[in-house]
Amino acid sequence: MNNEHRPYTLIAELTYRCPLHCPYCSNPLDFAEHGNEIDADTWLRVFHEAEELGVVQLNLTGGEPLLRDDLELLVEGARKLDLYTNLITSGIPLTSQRLSRLRALGLDSVQISIQSTRRSVADRIAGAPSFNRKLDAMRWATSLEIPLTVNVVLHRENISEIEELIALAECVSADRLELANTQYLGWALKNRAALLPTREQIERARTVAAEAKARLRGSMEVLFVTPDYYTDHPKSCMEGWGRRFIVVNPEGLALPCHLAHTIPGLRFEHVTQRRLSDIWHHSAGFNRFRGNEWLPDPCRTCERRVLDFGGCRCQAFHLSGDAGMPDPACSLAPGHDVIESARTQADRTAGIPVLFEYRTGRGRSSR
């Protein structure tokens, strides 16, 4: 069977609601205007259909997935399908009892984000008091022996804390530490001037992370994701459009990535209206940027196209106005000057705090 377009991971965005207000949130800017959340029965059917398509990993995310009080049902259902289930959470609101219950029902691992190692900074970035509760959640995970990933979204306000962030992850006995530089889309693009670090800051952080990675090999995995604004080559966004990942958003829209529905003119479909395998194989939106035929110049003849597939379609659209262009993060792309000027601005404003525009709006629930 052809594995070229086989999804391995389902990203289930259970809700856009969240008690925090991170200025780099990957939810769409208009998340509050989206329709009602799909119910647990629909999710369980989606898990089943995803597993039939080849999915083996399930990421339960949001918004804040803990706000769904049927999360237990979903974890239990996922385990019956033998999916490897990761809960991706801010850690709020959580109790050790609930975490223990989720574990007993089959939760395989938990990823908890933290904004900074300093309480005041962390709470300011999250836009709500949350630091202490996050640390509690991390400790509960460790004491319940649930594999823990600590996730930090890096930007200019916390990137200088890299040593402390590594120490914090070691201190809570994390199994993995994800030092992921902000992806400048959605809320993060709106806040880019306040978030984008300088090249110097990135280089320093990368060196420290590489040392930690070598030192901790075998006990804690350290992952450092360089921002594509400084790599000169784009990321292989989602490992290729409609190739390895399916995102299903809170209202049941099936997507190749978190923000694909922000690209105008693409048609995506709801899991309530069509089987997931039909959507995956046949929907216009999923097929739009698959394979090589759609590739623009200079990607068409570039050797790197098998590695990055021309980069991120959402970034191409949001920075150049055309989702069919090469990702401007590429130094060969016609629109690359926008990346260069963002870098220049980061240098010019180094050390000067810029105000965040916090993620706001409520997000709708099904109840």
Partner 1 sequence: MTLAAVRPRLNPKVRLRFDRRTGRHLLLYPETGLELNDTATAIARLCTGEKTIDDMVDHLTGTYADASPGEIRRAVHEFLGVLADRGLLQGAT
Give the nearer residue to partner 1 in terms of CB position, either 181 or 191: 181
Tell me which of ligand SF4, partner 1, none is bound by residue 234, counting a contact when its beta carbon lies within the kind-specific cut-off of 5 to 8 angstroms. Answer: ligand SF4
Contacts to partner 1 by CB under 8 A: 1, 3, 6, 8, 54, 56-57, 82, 84, 86, 108-109, 111, 145, 147, 149, 175-176, 217-221
C-alpha 253/C-alpha 36 separation (Å) is 11
Query: Do residues 179 and 158 make contact, with C-beta atoms less than 8 angstroms apart?
Result: no
Is 304 one of the binding residues for ligand SF4 (CB under 6 A)? yes
Rounded to a whole number of angstroms, the minimum distance from the CB of residue 94 to ligand SF4 is: 13
Give the nearer residue to ligand SF4 in terms of CB position, either 275 or 343: 343
Tell me which of partner 1, ligand SF4, none is bound by residue 233, counting a contact when its beta carbon lies within the kind-specific cut-off of 5 to 8 angstroms. Answer: ligand SF4
C-alpha 187/C-alpha 184 separation (Å) is 8
Residues in the chain, overall count: 367
Instruction: Give the closest residue to 62 by CA, choosing from 38, 92, 26.
Output: 26
Q: Which stretch binds ligand SF4 (CB under 6 A): 61-69, 73-81, 97-105, 207-215?
A: 61-69
Query: Do residues 225 and 179 make contact, with C-beta atoms less than 8 angstroms apart?
Result: yes
Tell me which of ligand SF4, partner 1, none is bound by residue 335, counting a contact when its beta carbon lies within the kind-specific cut-off of 5 to 8 angstroms. Answer: none
* Angle at alpha carbon of residue 334, lines to 328 and 340, rounded to 5°: 55
Is 62 one of the binding residues for ligand SF4 (CB under 6 A)? yes
Tell me which of ligand SF4, partner 1, none is bound by residue 123, counting a contact when its beta carbon lies within the kind-specific cut-off of 5 to 8 angstroms. Answer: none
Q: Which of 8, 21, 170, 204 binds ligand SF4 (CB under 6 A)?
A: 21
Is 359 one of the binding residues for ligand SF4 (CB under 6 A)? yes
Tell me which of partner 1, ligand SF4, none is bound by residue 97, counting a contact when its beta carbon lies within the kind-specific cut-off of 5 to 8 angstroms. Answer: none
Is 27 one of the binding residues for ligand SF4 (CB under 6 A)? yes
Tell me which of partner 1, ligand SF4, none is bound by residue 147, counting a contact when its beta carbon lies within the kind-specific cut-off of 5 to 8 angstroms. Answer: partner 1
Instruction: Give the closest residue to 172 by CA, choosing from 162, 164, 180, 161.
Output: 164
Beta strands in the chain (DSSP E): 9-13, 57-61, 84-89, 109-113, 148-154, 176-181, 221-225, 245-248, 253-255, 269-270
C-alpha 108/C-alpha 117 separation (Å) is 26
C-alpha 164/C-alpha 327 separation (Å) is 34
Q: Which of 326, 328, 335, 363 binds ligand SF4 (CB under 6 A)?
A: 326
Give the nearer residue to ligand SF4 in terms of CB position, either 273 or 360: 360
Tell me which of ligand SF4, partner 1, none is bound by residue 305, counting a contact when its beta carbon lies within the kind-specific cut-off of 5 to 8 angstroms. Answer: ligand SF4
Crossing angle (nearest 10°) for helices 71-80 and 96-105: 20
Rounded to a whole number of angstroms, the minimum distance from the CB of residue 218 to partner 1 is: 5
How many Å is the maximal CA-CA distance in the chain?
Answer: 56
Cβ neighbourhood burial of 221 (10 Å; 0-12, 13-18, 19+):
middle
Residue 45, Ramachandran bin (φ over 0: left; ψ between -120 and 50: alpha; else beta): alpha
Provide the binding-site residues for ligand SF4, judged by CB under 6 A.
18, 20-22, 25, 27, 62-64, 90, 233-234, 298-299, 302, 304-305, 308, 310-311, 326-327, 330, 332-333, 359
